[in-house]
Amino acid sequence: MKKTIFFLLLSMSFWTCQTETAEQSVQTEKQEQTNNQAAAPKATVSGKLAYPGHLPKDLTIVARNIGTGAMMTSREFNRSTLEYELKLPPGQYEIFTLTQSRPGQKAYYSEYMLCGEGPNCNSHRPVILNLEAGKNYPHISPSDWAAFDKK
């Protein structure tokens, strides 16, 4: 938990402490890349979340790009229905949730979820999603906390 908080604080201070001393051409190039990424069509991933017990306020949805390692995070979801939606650039992703109340544990969208979560479902391996621009990927529920409950 301390590492997570430290990393978040370090990340925030890095971005807030940046100065305008970088060359204008570098800033312009980065701005163009950002604008192109914002304008590029995205894939839509949506589904329902689950948590064993009382839903923590800090439940975070994470999409990790397998190719780049980049992580997109969100805490935005409907607290009544537990439904969420992420807009992501095309690529290969694994989707999971995490919370500080269970440090080091993640609930993946896994083979266990695809199998139906029954007694014959033994694999908890994360499912890698191949997202294409403009396509919708519904029913992606990163809710496999079971692998951690058995340890």
With respect to residue 62, please indicate whether it lies within any of the assigned structural domains: yes
pLDDT value at residue 146:
76
pLDDT value at residue 134:
96
With respect to residue 91, please indicate whether it lies within any of the assigned structural domains: yes
Q: Which domain holds residue 81?
A: 46-151
- Residue 132 and residue 151: Cα distance in Å, rounded? 36
pLDDT value at residue 37:
56
Do β-strands 91-98 and 106-108 pair in parallel, antiparallel, or remain unpaired? antiparallel
Per-residue tens of pLDDT for the chain, all 151 residues: 555 444 444 444 433 443 333 333 344 444 555 555 567 899 999 999 998 888 888 999 999 999 999 999 999 999 999 999 999 999 999 999 999 888 888 999 999 988 888 888 889 999 999 999 999 999 999 999 876 544 3
Burial class (CB in 10 A: 0-12, 13-18, 19+), 13: exposed
With respect to residue 151, please indicate whether it lies within any of the assigned structural domains: yes
With respect to residue 10, please indicate whether it lies within any of the assigned structural domains: no
With respect to residue 59, please indicate whether it lies within any of the assigned structural domains: yes
Residue 61, both tokens:
């949805």
Do β-strands 43-48 and 136-137 pair in parallel, antiparallel, or remain unpaired? parallel
With respect to residue 30, please indicate whether it lies within any of the assigned structural domains: no
